[in-house]
Amino acid sequence: MKLTRLFKDQGSGGTGCPTVYLAENGDFVIQGNILDSDTTAELENVLPGESAVRISVDVVLGAVERYTAAREG
């Protein structure tokens, strides 16, 4: 699956996360910090093969802004 980087946390340096990508099928792919076990335990209906990561609101909003601009432009 081909990924296009939409937005990366500017405070994370040149590498690492969090980052939001757009997959060629139109889905978002999120790279972020793995949740601790207490937080993971609060997730509901996690199916086999699923997981969750933590990212900041600013990264989500930045990715949505770039996604929207690309679709309009």
Q: What is the pTM of this model?
A: 0.83
Distance CA 53, CA 64 (A): 18
The fraction of the chain above a pLDDT of 70, given in percent, is 97
Residue 9 is classified by DSSP as -
pLDDT band at 16 (very low <50, low <70, confident <90, very high): confident
Residue 69 host element (H or E): helix 57-72
| Token output for 33 | 């910090």
Q: Beta 33-34 vs 3-8: how paired, if at all?
A: unpaired
| Token output for 61 | 């909003």
What pLDDT digit, counting tens, does each position of 20-44 carry?
999 999 999 999 999 999 999 999 9
